[in-house]
Amino acid sequence: MTTFGFFYLVLLACVFMCLYRIGRGPTVPDRIVAIDILGVVIVGFCALLSMDTGQDVYMIVGISWALIGFIGSLALAKHLEGKSFDE
């Protein structure tokens, strides 16, 4: 197995642990935390893909995923606190 294949396998194990917590988590904040962490792991995945293939499209996907995941986590946290989005 190549070096990058091993790296992909480790990150896939991380992704499946996050998916376990999303499906299993007893409360709603557990699932929100797991979605947030899944986004950060995917940014690392995009960095590894662009290292492997040499294309910078994957890194652009990673940057936009980081920003949009942040906005989504903030919106979910606001919703959990029982407020609307403009207060």
Q: Which positions touch another protein (CB under 8 A)?
A: 3, 7, 10-11, 13-14, 17-18, 20-21, 27-30, 32-34, 36-37, 40-41, 43-44, 47-48, 50-51, 54, 56, 59-60, 62-63, 66-67, 69-70, 73-74, 76-78, 80-82
d(CA 65, CA 78): 20
Quick one: CA dihedral 31, 33, 36, 38, positive or negative?
A: negative
To another protein, the closest distance from the beta carbon of 76 in angstroms equals 8
To another protein, the closest distance from the beta carbon of 35 in angstroms equals 10
Of 1 and 82, which CB lies nearer to another protein in the complex structure?
82
Look-up of token digits 């947030």: 36
Residues 43 and 13: beta-carbon distance below 8 Å: no
To another protein, the closest distance from the beta carbon of 32 in angstroms equals 6
Residues 4 and 48: beta-carbon distance below 8 Å: yes
